[in-house]
Amino acid sequence: MSAATTGRTVVDADFAGQRRRFQLRLGEIGELERLTGTGIGAILMRIASHQFSVRDVWETIRLGLEGGGTPAIEASALVLRYRDAPLIDFLPLAGAIVAAAVNGVPTNATAGKPAAEGTAPTPPATSPPSTPPGAPWDGHPSRSTG
């Protein structure tokens, strides 16, 4: 039997002055859910919508460090070092860790390359607009002639 491939849920990111590996495996996800009192999907949504709790951020990072191979004592010490820093500084990291556990990370040529600051991802393709570009709107809804 071969070992499970878990690289699709690994996040390598800078934290506490060096590049570190973060991963929420099944055990860490269960512990995070226990500590926060909610499911992993709700944690992802709370972080994304800025409805997060302190535990959503710090426990995600601590457990992510443990899942990435950092000993538990060291992971706790690293997180405690920043307990008085603004949470917003660590929100993107917590969000990336949870998102990787839920959605995986890209496996194509751009994997591991952070997006340039201030750039938005390419929006998904949509159907063409029903009104031609630049067509003025007269303020009245269209009336059916049929």
> 14 or 121: which carries more pLDDT confidence?
14
Q: pLDDT confidence of 40, banded at 50, 70, 90?
A: very high
Q: Which pLDDT score is estimated for 21? A: 97
Q: pLDDT confidence of 27, banded at 50, 70, 90?
A: very high
Write out pLDDT tens, residues 80-133.
999 899 999 999 999 999 999 999 988 754 444 444 444 444 444 444 445 455
Residues whose CB is less than 8 angstroms from the CB of residue 55 and which lie 6 or more positions away in sequence, other chains included: 35, 36
Q: What distance in Å separates the CA atoms of residue 112 and residue 105, rounded to the nearest whole number? A: 8
Q: Which pLDDT score is estimated for 142? A: 47
- Cβ contact 105:10 at 8 Å: yes
Average pLDDT, the chain: 80
User: In the chain, what are the domain boundaries?
Assistant: 8-103
Q: Which pLDDT score is estimated for 7? A: 79
Q: What distance in Å separates the CA atoms of residue 55 and residue 40, rounded to the nearest whole number? A: 13
Q: 23 phi and psi, to 5 degrees?
A: -160, 135
Global pTM reads 0.70
Q: Which pLDDT score is estimated for 141? A: 46
Alpha helices, DSSP H, located in 1-146: 26-36, 40-48, 54-67, 72-81, 91-103
Q: Which pLDDT score is estimated for 115? A: 44
